Amino acid sequence: MKATFTLLCFGAALLAIGSCADPVHDLQVKALGGEAPNIPAGDYHRAGQPCTTCHGQYGPATKQFAIGGTIFHGPDKAIGEEGVRVEMIDATGSQRNATTNCVGNFFVPTSDWDPAYPVLVMIRKGAIGRTMNSHIGREGSCNQCHKDPPSFDSPGHISLVPNEDNAPPPQDCPVSPVASLPGAR
């Protein structure tokens, strides 16, 4: 009886230690804040945020992404661009394409792809194509590097057109396609 109790306590302690094994990761998740009002956790949420911080092996989201991110229309405003094809190719030549939804979000689940880095990317919609000259070394979130504003450690958010042309936001989006990104112009 006593032994069982001790074992139980021991197990509980181990679990407790295990659950807070990575305080750095916990802080990174916390720093991203709660869900925006009126946008449920799902395909349209957290546009512009580093998806794999949460959709990675340490959670808190259950669905894991190999790569995920957001494509906006222009470089200044954070308006999602729908229907952009994101083309990715890894070091072994393995390729995946994904298409953005109306807030600009896209992702490739780990169940579908385990890329061998480095990975090259390009984005395409209609006649417009933009290539990232450098490669991705090991980061699954485009938005981890592509933060606002453009600075010494970030090229700014990803945009389909190189210059802001004040195009209207996509219609018929279930949530607002305009992201509130800290630092966006």
Partner 1 sequence: MKISRESARASEAIDVRRVAASACVLGFLAIAACVSVPDKDRQTYVGPLANGQTLAPDFTLYKSGPDAYLGKRCSTLDCHGQLGRGLRIFSPQGLRAFDASGAGYFPLTSGKDLESDDEKRQNFLSVVGLEPEVMTQVMSNGGADPQKLLLLKKPLLYEGHKGGQVMVDISDPGYKCLASWLQGALDQDACDKSLLVR
Q: List b or e across 147-167, with b for residues whose CB sees 16 or more CB atoms inside 10 angstroms.
A: bbeeeeeeebbbbbeeeeeee
In the bound state with partner 1, the residue whose beta carbon lies nearer, of 5 and 152, is: 152
In the bound state with ligand HEM, the residue whose beta carbon lies nearer, of 139 and 164, is: 139
- Spatial distance between the Cα atoms of 28 and 53, rounded to a whole number of angstroms: 7
- Spatial distance between the Cα atoms of 97 and 165, rounded to a whole number of angstroms: 27
CB half-sphere exposure, 50, CA atoms < 13 A:
19
Q: In the complex, which residues of this chain contact ligand HEC (CB under 6 A)?
A: 29, 32, 41-43, 45-47, 49, 51, 53-55, 60-63, 67-70, 86, 88, 105, 107, 121, 123, 130, 132-134, 136-137, 139, 142, 144-146, 155, 158
C-alpha of 182 from chain center: 16
Is 151 one of the binding residues for partner 1 (CB under 8 A)? yes
Q: Out of ligand HEC, ligand HEM, partner 1, none, which partner does residue 178 contact, by CB within 5 to 8 A per kind? A: none
In the bound state with ligand HEC, the residue whose beta carbon lies nearer, of 11 and 65, is: 65
Contact code string over 53-72 relative to partner 1, x by CB under 8 A: --------------------
In the bound state with ligand HEM, the residue whose beta carbon lies nearer, of 10 and 117, is: 117
C-alpha of 100 from chain center: 12
Q: In the complex, which residues of this chain contact ligand HEM (CB under 6 A)?
A: 117, 137-138
Q: Out of partner 1, ligand HEC, ligand HEM, none, which partner does residue 91 contact, by CB within 5 to 8 A per kind? A: partner 1
Q: Out of ligand HEC, ligand HEM, partner 1, none, which partner does residue 62 contact, by CB within 5 to 8 A per kind? A: ligand HEC
Residues that bind partner 1 (CB under 8 A): 91, 117-118, 120, 133-139, 144-145, 150-156
